[in-house]
Amino acid sequence: MKIEGVFAPVATPFNDDGSINFEMYSNNLEKLAKTSLAGIVSLGSNGEFAMLSYEEKLELVKATRKELPKDKALIVGTGCETLSDTIRMTNNAAEAGADVALVINPSYYKSDLSDAVLQKHFECVADKSQIPVMLYNIPRNSGINLSSSLVIKLSAHPNIKGVKDSGGNITQISEILASVPESFSVFAGSGGYLFVTTILGGKGGTLAVANVAPDYCTELFEAAKSGSVEKGRKMQLDLMALNNAVTAGFGIGGMKAAMEIAGFRVGIPRLPIQPAPDEIKDKIYKMMDKLQLVGKYRD
């Protein structure tokens, strides 16, 4: 299977009591499945994976696979702090229907996690995983950057098939693209550099903003892929403000607010994370209005 196209890292809706609202979740998936997206990332950072128990995670993967048509790929975030948990989660996710495992590095014990240790870790996971592994680099949250030289070394493993780079260092992304096999998928981890990553040879992206503007994002991706530079540039630049609002700018609260404005229902974040305050919602509303996204995915 090819890991290609634009994926939405779907939000996990929570009820006011903090429990998962599976009805909202399925409803959102149903809508996203009707868009032009290549697939869904479940248990990504935007899905609040770090806030979920092991059991909740598996339930979500099952619910995702159940709702998702066969032609939509399912990437699942499976990385944990320990090697054994990561392998177990990866294979449980595979059994629950995941096509690809998106594996974040362990990160708590930073002074123990050299490039050499991380290399061994990812190789062991890939050896044991029943499904292809995609590396997940998100230094802003994990505090560790997967260096271009590490990613290039890991790209030689037959079961490591790509990297989702949420670091956004385009020099590093270019160094990786210059040295990995053609079959290795480099994904933009944010809508802020989907266009340029694709122009450089990237195969797609998994983007918070694809939760709010899925068709816009795939159209932008296709423009890049087909070399429609004028169109792609314009779409990319028009997306910048909203893209910032739903990730770095206003966090999970911002993304959930934007999804509600677009017509999804996502409840509140899990505590201690807070919903976006009204002034942020107003800002996001205006950004989305400009791109004609308000209410676009309402029932």
Cβ atoms 118, 146 nearer than 8 A: yes
Mark whether 164 is an active-site residue: yes
Nearest to 154 by CA among 113, 114, 187, 184: 184
Query: By CB under 8 A, what part of segment 41-100 binds its own copies?
Result: 45, 48, 50-51, 53, 81-85
Dist CA 38 CA 62 (whole Å): 19
Closer to its own copies by CB, 156 or 237: give it: 237
* CA distance to 55, 123, 195, 206, per residue, from 228 (Å): 45, 38, 10, 21
Closer to its own copies by CB, 36 or 107: give it: 107
- Compute the C-alpha angle 265/280/221, nearest 5°: 65
User: What is the total count of residues that contact its own copies (CB under 8 A)?
Assistant: 66
Choosing from 57, 161, 164, 256, the catalytic residue is 164
Closer to its own copies by CB, 177 or 294: give it: 177
Query: By CB under 8 A, what part of segment 140-169 binds its own copies?
Result: 140-143, 168-169
Cβ atoms 66, 107 nearer than 8 A: no
Cβ atoms 168, 190 nearer than 8 A: yes
Of 248, 263, 285, 294, which lies in the binding site for its own copies, with binding defined by CB under 8 A?
248
Radius of gyration of the chain from Cα atoms?
Answer: 18
Print the binding letters for residues 200-229 with its own copies: x by CB under 8 A, - otherwise. xx-------------------------x-x
* CA distance to 31, 47, 50, 288, per residue, from 96 (Å): 21, 17, 19, 35
Of 274, 282, 289, 295, which lies in the binding site for its own copies, with binding defined by CB under 8 A?
274
Binding region for its own copies (CB under 8 A):
18, 45, 48, 50-51, 53, 81-85, 106, 108-113, 117-118, 120-121, 124, 140-143, 168-171, 174-175, 177-178, 190, 192-193, 195-196, 199-201, 227, 229-230, 233, 236-238, 240-241, 243-244, 248-253, 269-274
